[in-house]
Structure 1
Amino acid sequence: MINKQAQKIPTYVINLERRSDRKAHILNEFAGRDEFDVEIIKAHENPVGSLGLWYTIKQIVEIAEQREQDFILICEDDHQFTDSYSAQLLFECLTEAKDINADVILGGVSTVQSAATVSKNLSWIENFNGTQFLIIYRHFFETLLKAAFYEYDIADDKIVRLTKKRFLIFPFISVQKEFGYSDATDWNNEVGRVTRLFDGASKTVQTLKNVEKFYGNLRKNNGIIDEEKFSDISIPTYAINLPERTERRKHILQQFKGRKEFDLQIIDACKHKVGAIGLWQSICKIVQLAIDNEDDVIIICEDDHQFTNCYNRDLLLRNIFEAHEQKAGILSGGIGGYTHASLLSEERLWVSFFLSAQFIVVYKKMFKKILKYKFQEYDVADIVLSYLTSNKMVLHPFISHQKDFGHSDVTPIHNEFPGLVQDMFQRTESGLTDLKESINLLKS
């Protein structure tokens, strides 16, 4: 462990000279904490607050480079220690960070997309907001100093783009104090907003840790899937199609042609003036058929489903069984958006929410939940399905995308922005790829 007696943490605090209230606050935060060597740095003033902040961060890094410091702590003057903070915990984190060759460590964040536990106190994080307590290591200095920064950039996003080796201390040891205004982030001027954001981010990280623990325990208890037992399986598969959409019907039949692992049935879509309601009624129609047929698992497809080059029969069937063993309610073949994700295997991730339902595996445990739900005019099928179960997963790489026919009977916005569907799937798959690659990099 790094010896806290032998080394003080070089700490640079960013403060605008006119913000005397913030200066008094931050000096009080560090008062009596001998583990920090605190220096107040005059913030660059700029009409664009995010530019001023970045220029100040660069100035501090240049100073640290000249002083040949191995790592530094940069604090904004609204940083506030939480009750979880202790010098011992921080030095434990510094030791853990050294072991995994971290570029940056964050003491707490106001938003986070996904996180993965990598050590006792540290989690890798996907996207985040919150640089009020930022530790930067020397080997990252040059990368940061060379990075271009524009008016539309913000420091948090820039760090995400510059390094995969970004980590978060949890429980948080730092939050932002509410001053009722922000010099860098205009939307944080609303009183109470920052506190709510940090509370929400902390709950998100804890949820992701709970997910890791839950599925980790299931992996310990489950044996290896015997692939021979599904060698002759054919999954009941229902494709939703409006009879007048003949081009879509032709497309979906072509997608399943020769694929004997699917027992395909075309279902005439229910018509409704609200397309989303018609889709939900069609899903319920399929679920009732599955109950009548005493099916344990079914696949529901929309007629714009298209297999990707990553599709593989054995991969799909193996994951259908493995997801069932992990108590999944829904397994998606590909999605157009998500909020939070957790890696379960090289082929499968848990997601807290998903967009797009063009190819979903639905397990028996979901059937009655779907039929009982009172679908409203403002509802969206994929969002409702996300709501109905916490155990939802997606295959990755995706085996299914949505084909763009230039029109949608369910989602009007897809008609207004050509190429939107492809962009959503590409960005989502790219984000999940980054998550997997980052976690695998840490394991290697």
Structure 2
Amino acid sequence: MKIRKLACAMGMASWAVFASGAYAQTPPPADFTQLISQASLPLGVGPNGLSGAGASVLGQAVAGSQYVLIGESHMSREIPAFTTQVCRLMAPTGLTAMAIETGPEAARAVGSMMRSPDREARIADFARRHPDAIAFFNGRDEGQMAADCAAAAGPDLQLWGLDQEFLGASGHLLEEMLKSNPGPIARAAIEGLAAQDRETTAAALESGSPGDLFLFDVTQEALDQAGAAIARDGGERARYLFGLLTETHAIYHASQSRSGDPNGRRARLMKRTLAAHLAENPKARLLMKFGAWHVYKSLNPLDQRDIGAFVAERAEGEGVTALHVMVLGAKGTEGSYAGVGRAATAQPFDVTEDEGPDWRKDVLLMRPADVSPDDWILIDLRRLRAGGLASAPSEWRNLALGYDIAILAPTLTATTVLGAIDESNPE
């Protein structure tokens, strides 16, 4: 199916199965097991804040950091709620922006709605008019997190989208180009693309396949011709938006054809976009939330230096601290992409059923009997690094080199998306 072929490009692959492999888990050596136990603390996560010994460790680490990066598994209810509590820790001492794994224009749209009392209705309406134009932040819990963080941080909080735009963003981008009052040559070219977008969007809504959307239907020749027209009299705003469109098109096509290093191109785009924001806000304090592979401070599992490595190096050069926090779940359900305009499906997972090595299974095996089953577990990876990683299994070594703190939620629950087609009543 086309949906499956595009899973990597969309960044929708579930982290619930990221550790599956062909060999069984073997326990860490006894000396390293002792280090893990010493570095593990219970963490209570609730609507009124964080509690337990882990809350003190996390609070101190957050307080001393200019950049706080959360690497997650996507589309749950619990991780956005946790992120809200981190935002509330940061807000009293200043928070410039939340940087997120969605496109700049999608983030701008969400940012314009996140403080509105009818936020969910407005996001749902946007999602119906522009299916699949927003990655992740059409999720009900992501939107609530953005609203709660904005309330805590105040009216100046910005939302920075660093990624490429999402699969169905072309209609919104073309609409915004026309709103920018381009000249007649550019307008004719944009209107031609917009007509094609309306046709392809209707087809994609009918089939559910993202492969039917404009970004996979339009030819490079058509984009080149439109680009030449927009360069003539489109104006600065239209040229900027068209640049977002063509870069998004290039990334998805490279992923679809498995050529041209799409993951690396995507990472470089995010770095450029963040660098541009920081050039305008040189002392910015940031909360960042991305998929876990993006946030490694070292080479990630794709052997790439992604946005997390970029921030780690920048922070070192600035003489400030970047805190990298991985947050995953032990079991439950996570939302999974189900097609254009469709509601997310709830995919069950249980880390104990995976065959491959996974740090989460070690944490579960070592969970103290007196810790509440509702408590999360925080592992201070900085203590593991200080104690030495010579005896660490490879999964723990990679984790401790890539992150400062790992947090395991006992259960995750799939979020729901706003503006999805109700297939029982499409009208």
TM category, shorter:
under 0.3
Higher helix share: 2
Higher strand share: 1
Greater CA radius of gyration, 1 or 2?
1
Normalising to structure 1: TM-score of the pair? 0.25
